[in-house]
C-alpha cells in the first residue's frame, strides 16, 4: 500500500500544497486530476522522494519515503517516476542505455523490450526517435529497475493520438507482466475513463473530491470538478424548474448543472419539455454538436447526423442534472 498522510509543501508566497492524505492499494489504478498549476506534479515529486515535504509522511509498503534532505541520492526503492517529457542521454545508442541500466538476464530484457515496443530502436540514437518512442524507452529503462509503483506525470500530453494509443497499451501490458501499480496525474478526462479505478481532484493545492470516475463525473461537487471531466451547462433555476418537479430540484439550488448527453430534443411537445430554437450544427467527428436556445439558456446535445435546419424549432427535455450551490 502507498500511504500519503497529511503531506504539505509551501512552494512560494502564492502557492502551497495544503495537507493531503490518501492511500492506494496494490494494482489499484489511481488518477490525480487538476488543471495546470494545481499541484499535481508537486505531489508526485513528493511521493517519489524528489521533493522534501514541509510536514506529513509517505509510506510505501510500510517503509517511509525519505526526501532529498535525508539522503544523498533522491528516490525510494520500488518507486519510479515517468516524467511528462523524458530526456534521454545524448550521443548514446539506445542499446547502450539498456546495457548500463539492466540487471536482468538477456531473455527477460528482450521480452520487456518487445512489450514496450522498442526492440527495433536499439541501434538508434536519441535524435533518431520520436517523442512517443522516447516515452516508451524511458518507461522500459524504469522497468528494468523492477519498481512496484510507477508515478506517471502527464505521460500522454505531448503525444499524437497514434503514439498515445500505443503507450496506453504498453502501460497495460507492462503492468500485467510485471505486476506494476500506477498512479497517473493528468488534466485530460479521456485518460481516466475506462482506466482509473479511482480519481482524486486537486484544486489550488487542495484535495477537493475523490471517487470513481463515474461518481465524480455524475456528481461533481463544484463547477471546477464538473469542467475537468467534461462539458456541462449552468441552467438558471427559473429555467430548470420547467424541466423538473420541486421534489427533483431543491428550491435553494442556485445552479442546475446539465451534461450534453442529458439534453434530449423532441420534434413535438411532450411533458416536461419546453420550446427551443436550433442555432448551430457543428461536425464533431463521431457525432454532430447541435446548439439550441431554450429561453435565455444556451445548451447543446450530440446527434448522429447533421441534418438539422438552423432556425427550426422543437422542444427540449432534460433527463437529469445536479445542483451546485455556488455562483457559476
Q: Where are the domains of the chain?
A: 2-224, 231-324
* pLDDT value at residue 119: 92
Query: Tens digits of per-residue pLDDT, 25-58?
Result: 999 999 999 998 899 999 999 999 999 999 999 9
CA distance 284 to 272: 28
Question: 96-141: per-residue pLDDT in tens?
Answer: 888 887 778 888 889 999 999 999 999 998 888 888 899 999 999 9
Which range is least confidently modeled, 197-206, 227-236, 238-247, 306-315? 238-247
| Residue 319 predicted with pLDDT over 50 | yes
The residue ranking higher by pLDDT, 213 or 85, is: 213
Specify the pairing of strand 288-294 against strand 297-303: antiparallel
Instruction: Tell me the three cell numbers of residue 110.
Output: 528482450
182-210 pLDDT per residue, tens = 999 999 999 999 899 999 999 999 999 99
Question: Is the predicted pLDDT of residue 327 greater than 50, yes or no?
Answer: no
What band does 150 get if pLDDT is binned at 50, 70 and 90? very high
- DSSP letters spanning 9-48: EE-SSS-EEEEEEEEE-TT--EEEE--TTSSHHHHHHHHT
> Each residue of 257-281: pLDDT tens digit?
889 998 999 988 888 888 999 999 9
Residue-wise DSSP of 105-173: -HHHHHHHHHHTT-GGGTT-BGGGS-HHHHHHHHHHHHHTT--SEEEEESTTTT--HHHHHHHHHHHHH
The structure's pTM equals 0.84
Q: What mean pLDDT is reported for the chain?
A: 88
What class has domain 231-324? mainly beta
**274 strand-pairing partners:** 316
Distance CA 147, CA 154 (A): 19
- b/e map of 59-79 (b: 16 or more CB within 10 Å)? ebeeeebebeeeeeebbbebb
**How does residue 239 score in pLDDT terms, banded at 50, 70 and 90?**
confident
> Which pLDDT does position 245 carry in this prediction?
66
Look-up: residue for cell 506525470?
153
Give residue 79's region: left, alpha or beta (phi > 0; psi -120 to 50). beta
> CATH topology for 2-224?
Rossmann fold (3.40.50)
The residue whose grid cell reads 508537486 is: 42
Q: What is the pLDDT of residue 328?
A: 40
Beta bridge partners of 80: 150
Amino acid at each position: 500500500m502507498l500511504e500519503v498522510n497529511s503531506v504539505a509543501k509551501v512552494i512560494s508566497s502564492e502557492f502551497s500544497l495544503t495537507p493531503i492524505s490518501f492511500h492506494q492499494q496494490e494494482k489499484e489504478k489511481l488518477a490525480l486530476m487538476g488543471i495546470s498549476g494545481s499541484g499535481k506534479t508537486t505531489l508526485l515529486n513528493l511521493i517519489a522522494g524528489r521533493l522534501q515535504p514541509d510536514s506529513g509522511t509517505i509510506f510505501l509498503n510500510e517503509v517511509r519515503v525519505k526526501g532529498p534532505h535525508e539522503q544523498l541520492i533522491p528516490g525510494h526503492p520500488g518507486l519510479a517516476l515517468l516524467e511528462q517529457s523524458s530526456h534521454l542521454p545524448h550521443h548514446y545508442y539506445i542499446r547502450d542505455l539498456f546495457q548500463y541500466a539492466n540487471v536482468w538476464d538477456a531473455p527477460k530484457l528482450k521480452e520487456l523490450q518487445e512489450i514496450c515496443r522498442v526492440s527495433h530502436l536499439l541501434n538508434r540514437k536519441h535524435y533518431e526517435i520520436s517523442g512517443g518512442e522516447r516515452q516508451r524507452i524511458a518507461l522500459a529503462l524504469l522497468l528494468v529497475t523492477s519498481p512496484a509503483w510507477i508515478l506517471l506525470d502527464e505521460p500522454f500530453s505531448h503525444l499524437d493520438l497514434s503514439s498515445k494509443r500505443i503507450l496506453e497499451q504498453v502501460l497495460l501490458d507492462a503492468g500485467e507482466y510485471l505486476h506494476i501499480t500506477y498512479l497517473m496525474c493528468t488534466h485530460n478526462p479521456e485518460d481516466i475513463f475506462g482506466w482509473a479505478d479511482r480519481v482524486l481532484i486537486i484544486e489550488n493545492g487542495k484535495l477537493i473530491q475523490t471517487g470513481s470516475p463515474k461518481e465524480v463525473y455524475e456528481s461533481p461537487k463544484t463547477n471546477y470538478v464538473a469542467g475537468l471531466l467534461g462539458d456541462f451547462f449552468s441552467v438558471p433555476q427559473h429555467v430548470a424548474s420547467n424541466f423538473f418537479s420541486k421534489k427533483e430540484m431543491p428550491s435553494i439550488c442556485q445552479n442546475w448543472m446539465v451534461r450534453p448527453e442529458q439534453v434530449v430534443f423532441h420534434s413535438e411537445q411532450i411533458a416536461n419539455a419546453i420550446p427551443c430554437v436550433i442555432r448551430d450544427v457543428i461536425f464533431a467527428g463521431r457525432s454532430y454538436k447541435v446548439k439550441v436556445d431554450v429561453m435565455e439558456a444556451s445548451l447543446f446535445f450530440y446527434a448522429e447526423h447533421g441534418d438539422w435546419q438552423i432556425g427550426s424549432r422543437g422542444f427540449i427535455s432534460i433527463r437529469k442534472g445536479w445542483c451546485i450551490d455556488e455562483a457559476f
